[in-house]
Amino acid sequence: MNERKEVPLGIILFLSVIILLDVLFFMYIGNSLLFSYSVYSTFLSFSIDSVVMWIDVVLALLSLTIIPYGFLKRKNSARIFAVVFLTYSLLRILLYIVMTGEKTIGFLFFVLYIVLMLYLFMSSVSQYFGKKTSEIAPVEIIKEYTYGLYTLYTELVHLRNGKNQVIYFFSKRTPRSGTPSALPEGFHVEVSDRSGLPYLKKDKGVYSTPS
């Protein structure tokens, strides 16, 4: 259960940057409303500019709650919202550059949003949001079976007749496929006289059940 609480450093840095950006945004909005009457009147009016400003405020408020909470709980919906939020932020910063002509600050924010967006599509982030049931069977409960220098592995194979079958095999090295396994019930180990390799053999009196 402790593995569930571990949050990668990249996720923590991502959340820190998002929260910092939102705090700076609200500081900027608050300062504009207090010291600029034109911004204050626009904010309270019913116009395209006021609608855009309200959208900015609402999205910023939602990002302060949905993104941190959802990321810590590994909810993929929060990741999708973060993508939408960053996409909107990219469009807003492009509009800011076009309207004001300020390229230095606008370009820095544009690059920052791009980096944050690319991070959300990294495989490590996808795996972070995909691990939801890995703690159901703790790793320490599953003990691999070894015979001398060989380790027992299991793999689910697809047969030509369309059925699936679980196979067991021994290997000295880590195979390309298969996972370490405990000795299945009703089997014991024998060694091939010809190759010297260990293999599983069903115990006497144990019959396979039809699948």
> Is residue 58 helix, strand or coil?
helix
194 lies in a domain?
yes
Same domain, yes or no: 71 and 175: no
Q: How many structural domains comprise the chain?
A: 2
Is 125 found in the same domain as 147? no
Q: What is the DSSP string of 122-147?
A: SHHHHHHHH-SSTTSS-GGG----EE
Does the residue 11 lie in any domain?
A: yes
Q: Which of 109, 130, 151 is where one domain is finished?
A: 130
Q: What is the pLDDT of residues 82-125, one digit of tens each?
A: 999 999 999 988 988 888 887 788 899 999 999 999 999 999 99
Amino acid letter, residue 184: P
Cβ 124 vs Cβ 69: under 8 Å? no
Structural domain including 193 reads 142-202
In a domain, 137, yes or no: no
Do residues 148 and 180 both lie within one domain?
yes
The pTM for the full model equals: 0.56
User: What tens digit of pLDDT does each residue of 154-207 get?
Assistant: 999 988 888 899 999 999 999 888 899 999 988 999 999 999 999 999 988 655
Longest dimension (CA), the chain: 93
Residue ending a domain, choose from 72, 100, 130: 130
Q: Indicate the residue among 105, 130, 155 that finishes a domain.
A: 130
Same domain for 124 and 162, yes or no, is no
